[in-house]
Chains A and B, each alone.
Chain A
């Protein structure tokens, strides 16, 4: 079993919502956490400060997962300031809804580049250190939309379903080296995005969810922290729904 006190986690897109809750949960579990952000340094600072106030160790890190140079720079900095990344949470994602018939190519590219290609590039880089360490955890944040269709979300669903396929293949490649690769599929979760959705839409989402409510970021983060931890050593290639029964 690895010494988790010395372990380092990178959470991409960690300045808010699920990423924020995950960074805080991992810091509480004793990991040094790189709080990845692209456009919100203040948010990442706040997360790092809160993690530190709770007795953890955290460092805001600028990382644009669509840019290989940015990824390399972020990993180099994390390696020199915290250590080798042993836990990677591919959380950075974006969602732009629109019906397929008029959906802009640029929006498709941006969605797939961030949600799928970005997770691949970060994983590829992180695997170097994990293979050497003979220990690692990759958790990909997919979505219930990877498992069931959503009108207006062709690009988003495709990117998240791609992430599920990548999770399974990568899990098989590296299982022999003590590295697990899993995906979490959240349902409707309280966030800035769902907060701006109209009351009517919110009500519809709630009616679709057997649990009768939105999930909280902390409820997703708890599952991610489990998969990132030593107790989950025999869980790999799993696609775990955390959705209040939405896809049950």
Chain B
């Protein structure tokens, strides 16, 4: 079976010009994507997970034919994004921004009708599809089908944006941070819908986010991307298994010396966060917690710290991300 999306060695470097004088400019090269390769199958949600500036939106834009790659190939629904951009555009549903992207003086329904015309959907079919999507995304309950877009809340805008992405019933959806800035109920509804659409309707969905929790809930497979490189990929469980038998010790303690100084000499990875009231949260990534915990606690107590809480946890997706993006734990 052919893949819905096939990306091979994709590279994109931006040239950013900065003014240095009346006639002088300096050019800075920013490597946004450095030779990434991956595939996405129909009926699955694949997350591009990474921090801001990791290259997620650049990748989505290339796949949506909104940006030309410098080298490498990308095929969407079997069509090359550079040579067959028109065909690619017929096969994708796109959601790139939540907060804008519609006409303010049109209602939600009228905006969808406008884009249906641009997508070449016959009028009667468009009406049926719009009715269906308005119900599916509960836009009617929010009154968003009758209200002017300029009166929409962010949650309503996000739902309308997803409705547009689904308008032409394209087999592939490209969703760039679709829940960014949304209230929890709206974000939850969108996450549920995305999973349902992929699994029940067999669509391939690429979903970018920097939210680990969301990636864990929505995605069948995760591509961890950092500084333009895919640092790891797999299901959530596969990714967790890739961290070599590590467990996370979470210690909360009050007062005393900064724990970073006290346990600084230990070779394992540690993170120290400082909160209000002189409270420290310490995370230790170790293979055998029982071997180090006693000694570490003793040192922390001897330095004047009062241990409030100790927990030993399995690594989270966030830990996996830190492990892969920073090289080692």
Q: Do A and B come from one complex?
A: no
Interface of A toward B, CB cutoff 8 Å: none
